[in-house]
Structure 1
Amino acid sequence: MPLPGPRGTGLRHRLAELRGPDVLPKALDARALAALAANPGCRRRAVLDGAGVDKSVLASALGSPAAFGQSQFALTRGNAFEARVKADGGAELLRLVHTRLDPGAEPPHGAAVPDLTADGPAGRTARTALALREAAGAPGTWTLLDHPMLALDVAGSPAFLEPDAVVVHPDGSWTVVEIKSFPMLDGSADPAKVGAAARQAAVYVLALEDVAGHLDSPPRVRHRVLLVCPKDFSNLATASAVDVRKQRAVTARQLARLTRIEEIADALPEGTCFAPGLPADELTTAVESVPAAYAPECLAACELAFHCRDRSRAAGAVTALGRSVRAELGALSTVEDVLSAARGESGDPDDPAVAALRRAARLRAEALSGQTLGGQVVAACR
C-alpha cells in the first residue's frame, strides 16, 4: 500500500531523514501497532514507528535500554513449534481450524498452499492479495496462506504486517491464525498473554478487511481467530477460538484517532534526526522535541518507556501515576499542583478534584494526629 503521488514521496523522504542516513527502517509489526493503538495520544511513538526507527537501539543510545522482549531461546522454541504445526502442508493446522471453527465444512484432505514470495513488502502484499482473490474465486476448497503480507494505513503511513497464517475456508471466508509458544494448561492459557494475542490478531483482521473491501464480492473475514499453542507441557498443538470483535473495534477506533504522521513530522524542528549514532545530548534533544504520553502501561509495550518514565518523574507529571489517577485529577497536571491544592494553597474549591484532595488531606491529618496522641498516652502509661 504505497503512498500515492508526490505528497507520499515527500513524506517517505522526510521520514527517512528522521530515521537517519543509511539507517534501514524497522518494520511496524502487529504487536507494535496494537501497542500504538492502545496509546494514540503519544506522538513520540507514532512518529518513531512511522519513520521505522528501531526504538530498542534508540533507548540504548539514550542510556535507558529496554528490559523486555523474547529471549533467543524462546524465539527458537517458538519457531520450532510453528514449523511442527505447519508441517505436511499444514495438515495439523487445518485440522485444528476445521475442528474449532468450521466443523460443518468438508474435512480438509489437503489444501492449496500458494507461493507468496515476491520482491519487497509491497510486492509480497500484492502477491498475497492475488492469492486471496484466487482462493475466494475457488469455493469448496481449503487454502492455507503461510506468512502472508498485509498492509494497513496507519496515520497516513503504510504498515506491512505478517500474520502467522491465514486460512480460506470452503465457503470463501477468511480466518486469521496466531501461533504462540506459551502453553495451554487444561484447555486454558494465561489471560494476559491471550489478551495480547487477541489485540495482535485484531490488527490482522482489520488489514484483511481492507483487502476484502477491494474485491468485487467481498468475502467474510471471520472475527473468531484461531490461537494455536502447545498442549500442557508437551510439543503437541492444541487450539482455541478467540472472539476479537471487541479488540477489533477498539483498535479501529484508536487508529482513527492517531494524528497523521505527516502533521507530527512537519511540526518538528528542521534537522531533527533520531539516528542512534548521534551524540547522546543531541539525540535526547531530538527525542524530547516530540511530545510523549507516558503511562505505567508503557513499561510492558514500548522500548522507550524507561526514558519517558524518567522524564515524566523529573517533570512531576501525574501521568506517571497512571491514566486512572490522571483522569481523576482533572486540570491538575503535576504532583506539585496536586500537593498545593491539597494544602489549600491553590485550586478552585468548587473543583471536585480539589475538594476531594482537601478532604483527603484533612482525614490524613486527623489520622496522624490520632496516632501521635495514642503514642503519647502509651508512653505516659509506661
Structure 2
Amino acid sequence: MSSYPPDGPPQTTLRQRLADLRGPAVPPRPLDARALAALAANPGCGRRALLDGAGVDKTALAAALGSPAAFGQSQFAIVRGNSFEARVKGDGGVELLRLTHARLGGGAEPPGPDSRVPDLTAAGPEGRAARTALALREATAAGTWTLLDHPMLALEVAGTPAYLEPDAVVVHPDGRWTVVEIKSFPMIDGAADAAKVGAAARQAAVYVLALEQTAGKLAGAEVGHQVLLVCPKDFSNLPAAALVDVRRERAVTRRQLERLTRVEELAEGLPQGLCFDPARPAAELTEAVSAVTASYAPECLAACELAFHCRERAREAGEPAALGRSVRGELGGLTTVEAALAAAAGARADAGAHAGSGPGTDPTAAALREAARLRAEALASAAARPPYQAPETPECPC
C-alpha cells in the first residue's frame, strides 16, 4: 500500500531539482565575485541566473556545446598584477593605509605604528571566513587603522554560502569598513578605462554586500558605499587611488541575488528531465539550453562562458541585440534584423514617396527608409564620380 498522500507523491525539493538540472553526479560549482558581478552586468538573462543558481559549470557546458570560451588573464598580466599588489601592500600595508587615509580619512588621525595587519590563516573557507569575522570585530572594537589582507567573506546566495576573497578591507578608527580593489590597469592623469572601472565596481559591490551581512551582526560597524580603487599611476608601477561609488552596482547585484533565491520560479516552467550535465550529447544539451530564455548582448563576450553559443543562436534568430543593446533599443518594435531590413527596403518599393509620409507611420521604419534612401544617393553619387588618379610625381633632378 502506498504511503503517499491522496494528491500523489511529495514534490521534489528545490535542492533536488537543481541537482537534477546540474546532473546527479555533478558537484555544484561555487559562485565567486566575478560570476556574481557578471550577473549584475546582465540582470535580464534568465539562462545565466538559472545555471548559476543550479551550480552548473558553464565552462564545461560551453565546451560540450562546441562553443568553448577562453577566459582568464595572460601570464604576463597575472605576474604584473601580483607584483603591483605586493608593492602596494608592502611594509605592512603602510602605503595602502596612507592612500585610504588620503581619500577617506576625514578627521581621523593618519595611520601610525599601532596600525595592525592581523593573521587570517585558518583551515578551509569556512574557517577563514570565521577568522575574518573575528578580526573585523576586534579591529572595530580596538578603534585603530587595520588592514585585512585577502580576507574571506561569506555571502548567502540561493540559500548556500558563497565564499569571496577581496584584495583587502580597511577598518577605520571610527568603525567604518572600506573595500579595496587593486587592479593592474593604469590610471592615466587620474582617470582609468571606464569599462574596466565599471567591471571593478560591480565586483567590489559583491564584496560590499558580503561585508554588510557581517556588519549587520556587529554594533558600531558601518560599510562604506565608496570603495578604494588602486591602480598603477600613468605608466609607472607607483600606486594611485580613486574612490568609486558602488551604490548603483550594489542595488543591481542585490536584486539579482534576490532573483537567484527565487530560482525555483525559473525552473518551474522547464520540462521534466531537463539536464545540463556536460557528459550528455551536444544535441541534447543544445535543446536543454534553448529551453531557458537568454538575453544576449556583445558585452557578454567579456563576462559569460556561454557567450559564443548565445551569440550564434542570436544571429540565427536574427535578434537585433546581437548588434548591441543600443541597436535593439533604437529599433523599437522591429524585433528582428529581417524586419529592420524590410522596413529599410520599403523606400525602394515606394519610389518617389517621401519617407515617413502618411498617418500612423512607424517612426522607426520611416527613419530606416530615409537612411536607406540617403545611402543609395551617396552610393550613386560616388559611382558617378570619375575614379581617383594620383598626381604624377616629378622626376628627381638628381
What is the TM-score of this pair, normalised by structure 2? 0.79
Q: Would the aligned equivalents of 2:85 and 2:182 in 1 still touch at CA under 8 Å?
A: yes
Which has more radius of gyration?
A: 2
Distance 1:329 1:117, change over 3 A: same
Pick the aligned partner of 1:66 from 66, 69, 74. Answer: 69
Deviations 1:335-358, CA, capped at 9 Å, x for gaps: 23334455569xxx8766x34314
Q: Would the aligned equivalents of 1:343 and 1:358 in 2 still touch at CA under 8 Å?
A: no
Aligned residue identity for 1:292? A
- Superposed displacement of residue 36, structure 1: 0.8
Equivalent residues in 2 for 1:6-85, closer than 5 Å: 10-85=13-88
Q: Would the aligned equivalents of 1:149 and 1:163 in 2 still touch at CA under 8 Å?
A: yes
Question: Could you say which residue in structure 2 is the equivalent of 1:86?
Answer: 89
Q: Would the aligned equivalents of 1:30 and 1:200 in 2 still touch at CA under 8 Å?
A: yes
Aligned residue identity for 1:44? R
Deviates more, 1:246-255 or 1:319-328: 246-255
Distance 1:350 1:339, change over 3 A: farther
Q: Would the aligned equivalents of 2:157 and 2:261 in 1 still touch at CA under 8 Å?
A: no
Q: Would the aligned equivalents of 1:50 and 1:157 in 2 still touch at CA under 8 Å?
A: no
How far apart, CA to CA, are the structure 1 residues paired with 2:283 and 2:31?
27
How far apart, CA to CA, are the structure 2 residues paired with 1:369 and 1:74?
49
Pick the aligned partner of 1:180 from 171, 178, 183. Answer: 183
Question: Could you say which residue in structure 1 is the equivalent of 2:136?
Answer: 132
RMSD of equivalent CA atoms? 3.3
How far apart, CA to CA, are the structure 2 residues paired with 1:222 and 1:299?
31
Pick the aligned partner of 1:112 from 113, 116, 124. Answer: 116
Aligned residue identity for 2:137? R
How far apart, CA to CA, are the structure 1 residues paired with 2:168 and 2:384?
71
Distance 1:90 1:355, change over 3 A: closer
Q: Would the aligned equivalents of 2:39 and 2:253 in 1 still touch at CA under 8 Å?
A: no
Identify unmatched segments of 5+ residues in structure 2: 1-11, 350-357, 387-398
- Residues matched between the structures, number: 365
Aligned residue identity for 1:288? S
How far apart, CA to CA, are the structure 1 residues paired with 2:15 and 2:124?
16
- Superposed displacement of residue 252, structure 1: 3.7
Distance 1:37 1:350, change over 3 A: farther
Aligned residue identity for 1:322? G
1:368 corresponds to 2:368? no
Equivalent residues in 2 for 1:184-203, closer than 5 Å: 184-203=187-206
How far apart, CA to CA, are the structure 1 residues paired with 2:181 and 2:384?
64
Aligned residue identity for 1:56? T
Q: Would the aligned equivalents of 1:227 and 1:241 in 2 still touch at CA under 8 Å?
A: yes
Q: Would the aligned equivalents of 1:19 and 1:52 in 2 still touch at CA under 8 Å?
A: yes
Question: Could you say which residue in structure 2 is the equivalent of 1:168?
Answer: 171
Give the secondary structure class of the aligned counterpart of 1:166. Answer: strand
Q: Would the aligned equivalents of 1:272 and 1:286 in 2 still touch at CA under 8 Å?
A: yes
Deviations 1:279-312, CA, capped at 9 Å, x for gaps: 2222222222211111122122212111101000
- Superposed displacement of residue 196, structure 1: 1.8
Question: Could you say which residue in structure 2 is the equivalent of 1:356?
Answer: 364
Aligned residue identity for 2:141? G
How far apart, CA to CA, are the structure 1 residues paired with 2:359 and 2:212?
49
How far apart, CA to CA, are the structure 2 residues paired with 1:88 and 1:23?
44
Equivalent residues in 2 for 1:191-340, closer than 5 Å: 191-215=194-218, 217-253=219-255, 255-256=257-258, 260-340=262-342
Distance 1:121 1:326, change over 3 A: same
- Superposed displacement of residue 10, structure 1: 4.0
Aligned residue identity for 2:286? T
Distance 1:12 1:110, change over 3 A: farther
- Superposed displacement of residue 176, structure 1: 0.4
How far apart, CA to CA, are the structure 2 residues paired with 1:132 and 1:374?
70
Deviations 1:17-74, CA, capped at 9 Å, x for gaps: 3333454443322222122112111011112222333323322222222244311332
Give the secondary structure class of the aligned counterpart of 1:241. Answer: strand
Q: Would the aligned equivalents of 1:94 and 1:108 in 2 still touch at CA under 8 Å?
A: no
1:145 corresponds to 2:153? no
Give the secondary structure class of the aligned counterpart of 2:120. Answer: coil
How far apart, CA to CA, are the structure 1 residues paired with 2:344 and 2:113?
70
- Superposed displacement of residue 254, structure 1: 5.2
